[in-house]
Amino acid sequence: MKTYFFPFLCVCLLVLGGCATPEYKAAYQTCSPGAFSQYPEDKVQTFEMRQRWVQVATGQLSCVAVQNAANVKQTVCTPITYMRPISTMEPVIVDRNEEPRKSLISACAQSMCIQRYGNVECKPTTPATSPVPVVGPMVTTPP
């Protein structure tokens, strides 16, 4: 599931990002309630391998001689460290229905765009043309 989610998320962000027309965004929003009723949120806790960076001491010290206001010299040492990645299993909450729901919304929005504008991007053929009204969103279940 994780393997397919990242590319799917990137495609969705590109489609709904700055490139999507306002008409496509409206169609996407129109299709969302039906998809959420078919695929409600099903959040579960799972564990995923995550990488985080930690400071690790090298065992060496960096020392500097400093003189204070009373002309007393002191040596101040600090450990030398470097950043190292470590992998850990961390609990995450995932929605098991997110992928099929987003696929359904996208398919519905594209179908609506084809009906209204004749293309999947909802790009109007001419700026003066108004969209053809549709009775309601077409929500279909994938095979």
Mean pLDDT of 94-98: 96
Helices (H) and strands (E) in the chain, counts: 3, 2
- For residue 122, which phi and psi values (nearest 5 degrees)? 65, 30
For tokens 């969705």, what's the residue?
12
- For residue 26, which phi and psi values (nearest 5 degrees)? -65, -40
DSSP state of 129: P
Residue type for 109, please?
A: A
Mean pLDDT of 88-102: 96
Whether residue 142 has pLDDT greater than 70: no
8 A C-beta contact, residue 132 and residue 118: no
Mean pLDDT of 130-140: 59
> Which band of pLDDT confidence, cut at 50, 70 and 90, is reported for residue 59?
very high
What is the chain's mean pLDDT, rounded? 83
Name which of 59-73, 102-116, 121-135 the model is least confident about. Answer: 121-135
pTM above 0.85, yes or no: no
pLDDT value of residue 18: 62
Distance, CA of 38 to CA of 36 (rounded, Å): 5
Distance, CA of 94 to CA of 88 (rounded, Å): 18
pLDDT value of residue 140: 64
| CA dihedral for 19, 21, 25, 27, sign (positive or negative) | negative
Top-confidence residue, 100 or 131: 100
Per the structure block, which two tokens stand in for 79?
Answer: 């450990």
Distance, CA of 3 to CA of 106 (rounded, Å): 20
